[in-house]
Chains A and B, each alone.
Chain A
């Protein structure tokens, strides 16, 4: 399989701040790579370098066979960019936006108009095609944005946080659109803050933190490491805590029971969420433990970070170097694994 996006040792500094500290990426043709990380991790910087908007201080990258530093024009011909790094012109109609971009790709007027109509139809925007984009809902605007990236049917599409800020329904709709794109064999680089999004859309996930990849693997490998779903429990009486801990330990999927934010809350990673939840509740019922709140929670970016670095993603948000091995009180609960990247990496 050929590699469509390849980056080696990308470094980008802004004054004293290192946005990227030696990032390597590899995306085989026709696959989807998700760059997963919190705000400020370096995702957008990486996207901007790969789409020729920014020059790295060190490192090399090729996209669709063209070198981003030596042949930027050639790269631009072969990619489509969408998401928070690009924008639509809100004073133009959807059709005008797409036609303008077609013309700027070098299409003749007729072809640009035809392609715009095709994309509007394909993205469920034909009714809104002649309205200025400023009248669009958030979801419509993102779909138009994505359509803009696809005008020239590029081999590589880069999506920078395509669903950030969207309501759940629009997000699901956007996922369907992206999944459809992937089925056509387009190579996709996607950045996201949502583990669920990466899981849903990507073949491979690179977790990025402070400008460096800290884990690389399939969504399944990452989830297996993070522990999949968790049962979270809050007991009414703090005295029942140990009974609850025992109930959770009985369904634990390998990991130990974690203490929650308060002394009455606990959680544990499980394999079969719904069944585990029922078993826990049955046992607590038998033991006469009163439960205040219980639920199943899918792992989030925070869980990934907690597992990989011992810190939550919010801590990672704060600038400055990562602490050596995570905060002390967290270390006993979730062992920090400095070699985590090695474990998941292929």
Chain B
């Protein structure tokens, strides 16, 4: 067997093992799916009246793509927690004592988490439709938006995979990821319009890939008002392209780092 097919087979075996856990511990699935619903309803009904995006669309339409982006980024914590748990329980040592592909454990984990993200996007889209969100562009564009959300989430999974092999326990993961993920998602245009930020933060918001991901989704779903002012930063002018560049950069940097760290790791 060539190295590549070996890696693919092993990755698939590990991903299948991770997914079996959903079947055996359905509580996890419920938790993963309930939080996006909660976010949609919370923002739509609690803040919905108070926050005006200022571009003429209703807050819910503005909000839903932001919720999508935020949730898939938060979902990456799950990747880190899964890896940290495996490390703690010693199953990683079993894997590392096998003549399997050394990248398959992490690749399998990030792959199985794509399935989680597909499920949570599905649930969120349905909830969104119930509260008044609509796809106003073509279905092809909408599919592209979901695709972009999934590849971005996949890239962030690799960041959290690195965190997962670095931290000593599952408990640390949640705190560690908060430090990274909270600013990324909240200092973005996911929940509030860009011009509500003070100028100093605005540059960060404009180049924050969570913002450009949100912006790209809004454009692809047709949830923006063409009359509303748009940032003239290059990233916000070409949000999908910029987001894809970020995906590539994150993968190129973090996947090798995480795998190298995994290979050297020991309790």
Write out the residue numbers on chain B whose beta carbons fall within 8 Å of the beta carbon of A77: 99
Write out the residue numbers on chain B whose beta carbons fall within 8 Å of the beta carbon of A96: 17, 20
Q: How far is the CA of A81 from the CA of B93 in the complex (A)?
A: 9
Contact of B90 among A79, A86, A103 (CB under 8 A): A86
Q: How far is the CA of A89 from the CA of B25 in the complex (A)?
A: 13
Q: Interface readout for A88-112 with B: 1 if CB under 8 Å, 0 if not? A: 1101100010001101111000000
| In the complex with contacts A103-B9, A104-B10, A104-B13, A91-B21 CB distance below 8 A | yes
Is A36 located at the chain interface by the 8 A CB criterion?
A: no
Q: Interface readout for B1-45 with A: 1 if CB under 8 Å, 0 if not? A: 100001001100100110011001100000000000000000000
| In the complex with contacts A103-B9, A106-B6, A92-B20 CB distance below 8 A | yes
Q: How far is the CA of A91 from the CA of B100 in the complex (A)?
A: 21
Q: Interface readout for A236-262 with B: 1 if CB under 8 Å, 0 if not? A: 000000000000000000000000000
Write out the residue numbers on chain A whose beta carbons fall within 8 Å of the beta carbon of B9: 103
Nearest residue (CB) in B for A99 is B13
Contact of B91 among A53, A87, A106 (CB under 8 A): A87
Whether the pair A91, B89 counts as a contact (CB closer than 8 A) is no
Whether the pair B91, A89 counts as a contact (CB closer than 8 A) is yes
- The CB with the most chain B CB atoms within 10 A, among A51, A74, A104, is that of A104
Is A3 located at the chain interface by the 8 A CB criterion?
A: no
Tell me which residues from 32 to 51 in chain A have a Cβ below 8 Å from any Cβ of chain B.
48, 51
Write out the residue numbers on chain A whose beta carbons fall within 8 Å of the beta carbon of B10: 103-104
Whether the pair A85, B90 counts as a contact (CB closer than 8 A) is yes
Whether the pair A148, B94 counts as a contact (CB closer than 8 A) is yes
Nearest residue (CB) in A for B22 is A91
- Say what secondary structure dominates the interface of chain B: helix
- Interface size class for chain A? 20 to 34
Q: How far is the CA of A52 from the CA of B94 in the complex (A)?
A: 11
Contact of B93 among A74, A87, A106, A132 (CB under 8 A): A87
Q: How far is the CA of A170 from the CA of B13 in the complex (A)?
A: 32
Whether the pair A53, B20 counts as a contact (CB closer than 8 A) is no
| In the complex with contacts A48-B266, A54-B266, A86-B97 CB distance below 8 A | yes
Write out the residue numbers on chain B whose beta carbons fall within 8 Å of the beta carbon of A91: 20-21, 24-25
Q: How far is the CA of A106 from the CA of B1 in the complex (A)?
A: 9
Q: How far is the CA of A75 from the CA of B97 in the complex (A)?
A: 9
| In the complex with contacts A91-B20, A100-B17, A105-B99 CB distance below 8 A | yes
Which A residues contact B (CB, under 8 angstroms)? 48, 51-54, 73-74, 76-77, 79, 81, 84-89, 91-92, 96, 100-101, 103-106, 132, 148
Give the 9 A-B CB pairs with smallest separation, nearest first.
Answer: A87-B90, A86-B94, A76-B99, A104-B100, A77-B99, A81-B97, A91-B24, A91-B21, A103-B13
Which B residues contact A (CB, under 8 angstroms)? 1, 6, 9-10, 13, 16-17, 20-21, 24-25, 89-91, 93-100, 104, 266
Q: What are 27 A-B pairs with beta-carbon distances under 8 A?
A: A48-B93, A52-B96, A52-B97, A53-B266, A73-B99, A76-B98, A76-B99, A81-B93, A81-B97, A85-B93, A91-B21, A91-B25, A92-B17, A100-B13, A100-B16, A101-B94, A103-B9, A103-B13, A104-B13, A104-B95, A104-B98, A104-B99, A104-B100, A104-B104, A105-B99, A106-B99, A148-B94
Question: 15 additional contacts, CB 8 Å, given A54-B266, A104-B10?
Answer: A53-B96, A53-B97, A73-B99, A79-B97, A81-B94, A85-B97, A86-B93, A86-B94, A86-B97, A87-B91, A96-B20, A104-B13, A104-B104, A105-B100, A132-B24
